[in-house]
Structure 1
Amino acid sequence: MASEKKMPLLTAWSPYIIVILMLLATRTIAPLKEFLVTNINLSWKNILGFSQINSDWEFLYSPGTLLTIAVILGLLIQVKTLKNFFPIAKKVVLSMKSTALALVVTLIMVQVFTNSEINLTKLPSMPMYIAEIISKYLSGIWIIIAPFLGQLGSFVTGSTTVSTLTFGQIQADIASNANVSKELVLAAQLIGAAAGNMICVHNIVSVSSVVGLSGQEGNILRKTVLPALLYGLLVGIIGFIFTLFI
């Protein structure tokens, strides 16, 4: 049997190289950044008539747009024909439809959660109220708990971004109330949220369907939950050590 021709290393790495170069260029070259930010700006301001509620989407400057462009350019570099691409892309998109629907609903709930301070009775927002309660009892060890809250957010939503959108304000408020470095607590949130993706059920379902392991989701979860928890504990311990010197 003839061996398959190997792809050159530079060609294989091309999508990642393109992403890095595009992100660096769009974030460091001021005229380019200004052009991307001001053109095709799909941001939504004054939602429902409230000046405090806004949704920013600078389309050309968005990392998602840059990643999409990098994928297309990388694909053109790596393959000579798109014949095999479209069937695989269709299968992947169809396998993600339930995840996408859940993500849309989650993002809506996040916006309600984070903007809950807008009410007729002037009650504090849900994140602020939760932060006040937690900081009364757990402020001394919060840095150890912070990454697990990030993991919980990713476990439920399947997204580091959504986990941070949901719990970032709570983490920051608790850090302020507990006189702990806000940057350190938010770093623990982000790292924990990233690790939490390995135990997110619909992430596992999506990946399993793509690689042909449907029906093995339970086994995958059992094998990833312990590393995820150990990861969170390690981050918490390191964070606690940092608090001794900050």
Structure 2
Amino acid sequence: MLIFILLLLTSKLVPMIYDSISQIRTSVLIYKGDGGSPYTFHWVATPGMVIFFATFLSGFIQRTPLGDMLQVLRKTVFSLRPTFVTIISIIATAKVMGYSGMTTTIADHTVAATGVMYPAIAAFIGSVGGFITGSATSTCILLGKLQMDAAVAIGASENTQVWIAAANATGACAGKIIAPQSIAIGVAAIGVAGRGSESQLLALAMKIYLPFILLLGCLVYMGRIWL
């Protein structure tokens, strides 16, 4: 409840507070070439930091010793080391691909091969990203610009560009269903890992994934016409 209240109070719904804390930021110019722009770190006006502060505040309200909270924080950070490396690597890869023109080149070639039919495979491309990364968030970071570049290349309207970007996110969620990480976590959670359950679960997931991604492709393509 406390986290929810703090999120509301520090959001744009309360300009007086939001405008003040949004000034606590640092801008760093990482890339100085064409298309480069400063990357801004918001130290307070971001949901993650609000949740972080709310956690400690809740602990103090419940009279939890500071040492215990710091110990939990240390264990949490230690356990999330692989996640930190993964997220940083994916963001760095996405930035390099964007600045080097790789995403634009890939988008141009994809559009050249599919033409105006591109929206029909936008969700599938997102699902491939979800399958590889095992994360919808990582897929949006990695392939979001590619999808937007492709939408621009086919002359899509602004509404259609947003539609295709949404298809990428939705497709990523579908791809996560069949991602090896998701399958492994699923069988491990019920204690049947290593008994051939992985292939059985994947086969079951594919029965859901295939019709869903086909239906989604048709919906996205028809949406381009409606928009």
Q: State the TM bucket, normalised to the shorter chain.
A: 0.7 to 0.9
Q: TM-score when scaled to structure 2?
A: 0.74
- Residue in structure 1 matched with residue 208 of structure 2 by the alignment: 227
Q: In the aligned structure 2, how far is the partner of 1:156 from the partner of 1:187?
A: 19
Q: In the aligned structure 1, how far is the partner of 2:118 from the partner of 2:135?
A: 22
In structure 1, give the amino acid aligned to 2:222. Answer: I
* Residue 192 (structure 1) aligned with residue 188 (structure 2): no
Quick check: 2:183–2:198 contact (8 Å CA) kept in 1? no
Q: In the aligned structure 2, how far is the partner of 1:202 from the partner of 1:163?
A: 14
Q: Compared with structure 1, are the counterparts of its residues 29 and 139 closer, same or farther at alpha carbon in structure 2 (3 Å cutoff)?
A: farther
- Residue in structure 1 matched with residue 21 of structure 2 by the alignment: 36
- Residue in structure 2 matched with residue 244 of structure 1 by the alignment: 225
- Residue in structure 1 matched with residue 198 of structure 2 by the alignment: 218
Q: In the aligned structure 2, how far is the partner of 1:179 from the partner of 1:49?
A: 29
- Residue in structure 2 matched with residue 163 of structure 1 by the alignment: 139
Secondary structure of 1:26 counterpart: coil
- Residue in structure 1 matched with residue 30 of structure 2 by the alignment: 47
Unaligned runs of 5+ in 1: 1-13, 117-124
* Two-structure CA RMSD over aligned residues (Å): 3.7
Q: Compared with structure 1, are the counterparts of its residues 53 and 29 closer, same or farther at alpha carbon in structure 2 (3 Å cutoff)?
A: same
Quick check: 1:175–1:185 contact (8 Å CA) kept in 2? yes
Quick check: 1:46–1:54 contact (8 Å CA) kept in 2? yes
Q: Aligned match of 1:148 in 124, 141, 152?
A: 124
- Residue in structure 2 matched with residue 27 of structure 1 by the alignment: 12
Secondary structure of 2:175 counterpart: helix
Q: In the aligned structure 2, how far is the partner of 1:24 from the partner of 1:186?
A: 30
Secondary structure of 1:129 counterpart: helix
Give the deviation of 1:55 after TM superposition: 2.7
Quick check: 1:114–1:166 contact (8 Å CA) kept in 2? no
Secondary structure of 2:40 counterpart: coil
Secondary structure of 2:39 counterpart: coil
**Cα deviation digits, residues 183-210 of structure 1 (max 9, x gap):** 211111121123333333335545666x
Quick check: 2:123–2:217 contact (8 Å CA) kept in 1? yes
Q: In the aligned structure 1, how far is the partner of 2:71 from the partner of 2:180?
A: 25
**Cα deviation digits, residues 77-106 of structure 1 (max 9, x gap):** 9x9989xx9999888766654343233222
* Residue 138 (structure 1) aligned with residue 114 (structure 2): yes
Q: In the aligned structure 2, how far is the partner of 1:221 from the partner of 1:93?
A: 32
Q: TM-score when scaled to structure 1?
A: 0.69
Q: Compared with structure 1, are the counterparts of its residues 236 and 106 closer, same or farther at alpha carbon in structure 2 (3 Å cutoff)?
A: same
Secondary structure of 2:44 counterpart: helix
Q: In the aligned structure 2, how far is the partner of 1:238 from the partner of 1:169?
A: 21
Provide the identity percentage: 23
Secondary structure of 2:41 counterpart: coil
Q: How many residues align?
A: 218
In structure 2, give the amino acid aligned to 1:224. Answer: A
Quick check: 2:6–2:50 contact (8 Å CA) kept in 1? no
- Residue in structure 1 matched with residue 48 of structure 2 by the alignment: 64
Secondary structure of 1:61 counterpart: coil
Unaligned runs of 5+ in 2: none
